[in-house]
């Protein structure tokens, strides 16, 4: 897949938007969860971070959005740049203002509010009411199902609709980089296809760069341009989505012959350690 020509700021595609350089993350000052990770997302890119449970994918996203501090985690080494500026000294709200949106794992929405109210609550950074209405309509255009459920409290939406709403809330901040943590979790294959297709369009047509964390390697590689495989806090493979998908070990242990990944098999894969040597 090719990258889109420009992002939503008109910046030419291909320039680096996000750069992690040799980043280490410590929890509680002792547990080294990320061990020297370097990752790039170019303007207009759609990048997948793949790996099993506990590999460190969510921690990488939290280091970018700044949400590590609430979990007693910190970046202990390395650098992170976004749109050419150093990120590490910035508080999470400032990172949002600069265009970083993080959709956490687990579809966090306000259950007692309707979809529209949820979107409004996510737009507190905008003072112009007309602009907020435009953004809301844009989100409803990406996710027509949410408009159809406009009068329903979010707690009564289906899992897929709640995931759409969580992504919609992130879009209300007009991100340059949309980070999604396991959007496919617990959803039926049909819904995963529907949501991933919309994510692909948000990237291609909306010009929003995407960093997608997924255990569902089949779905993620189906829309990504580039992929990183994370294991035990390290990047053990990186390349175009096509190259990663074509790798025999990825085929065997992550793509399971086209089915959902069987992570029990990853144990055997680890024994071979072919990518680490």
The mark string for 176-215 relative to ligand ATP (x by CB under 6 A, - otherwise) is ---------------------------------------x
CB-wise, 71 or 205, nearer to ligand ATP?
Answer: 71
Q: Which of the residues 247 through 276 are near ligand ATP (CB under 6 A)?
A: none
How do beta strands 46-50 and 31-42 pair? unpaired
- Kindly state the tokens that stand for 153: 């409290």
CB-wise, 13 or 32, nearer to ligand ATP?
Answer: 32
CB-wise, 59 or 204, nearer to ligand ATP?
Answer: 59
Rounded-to-integer distance, Cα 58 and Cα 48, Å: 12
Q: Which of the residues 114 through 173 are near ligand ATP (CB under 6 A)?
A: none
Identify the CA nearest to 176 among candidates 99, 65, 62.
99
CB-wise, 27 or 110, nearer to ligand ATP?
Answer: 27
Task: Specify whether the CB–CB gap between 24 and 18 falls below 8 A.
Answer: no
Cβ neighbours around 141 below 10 Å, total: 10
CB-wise, 73 or 99, nearer to ligand ATP?
Answer: 73
DSSP string, 128-184: -HHHHHHHHHHHHHH-HHHHHTTTS-GGGS-HHHHHHHHHHHHHTT--SEEEEE-TT
The mark string for 29-68 relative to ligand ATP (x by CB under 6 A, - otherwise) is --x-x-----------------x-xxxxxxx---------
Question: What is the maximum alpha-carbon separation in the chain?
Answer: 57
The mark string for 1-30 relative to ligand ATP (x by CB under 6 A, - otherwise) is --------------------------xx--
Residue ranges binding ligand ATP (CB under 6 A): 27-28, 31, 33, 51, 53-59, 71, 73, 215
């Amino acid at each position: 897949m090719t990258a889109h020509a420009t992002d939503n700021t008109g910046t030419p595609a291909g320039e680096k938007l996000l750069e992690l350089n040799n980043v280490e993350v410590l929890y509680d000052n002792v547990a080294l969860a990320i061990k020297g990770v370097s990752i790039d997302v170019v303007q207009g890119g759609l990048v997948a971070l793949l790996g099993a449970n506990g590999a460190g994918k969510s921690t990488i996203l939290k280091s970018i959005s700044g949400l590590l501090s609430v979990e007693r985690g910190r970046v202990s080494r390395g650098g992170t740049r976004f749109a050419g500026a150093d990120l590490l000294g910035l508080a999470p709200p400032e990172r949002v203002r600069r265009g970083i949106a993080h959709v956490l794992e687990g579809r966090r929405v306000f259950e007692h509010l309707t979809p529209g109210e949820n979107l409004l609550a996510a737009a507190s950074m905008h003072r112009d009411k007309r602009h907020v209405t435009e953004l809301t309509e844009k989100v409803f255009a990406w996710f027509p199902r949410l408009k159809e459920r406009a009068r329903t409290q979010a707690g009564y939406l289906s899992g897929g609709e709640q995931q759409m709403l969580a992504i919609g809330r992130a879009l209300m901040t007009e991100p340059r980089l949309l980070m999604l943590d396991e959007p496919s979790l617990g959803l039926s294959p049909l819904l995963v296809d529907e949501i991933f297709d919309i994510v692909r369009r948000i990237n291609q047509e909306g010009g929003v760069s995407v960093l997608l964390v997924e255990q569902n390697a089949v779905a993620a590689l189906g829309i990504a341009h580039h992929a990183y495989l994370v294991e035990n806090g390290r990047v053990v493979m990186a390349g175009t989505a096509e190259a990663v998908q074509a790798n025999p070990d990825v085929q065997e242990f992550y793509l399971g012959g086209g089915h959902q990944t069987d992570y029990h098999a990853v144990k055997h894969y680890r024994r071979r350690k072919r990518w680490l040597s």
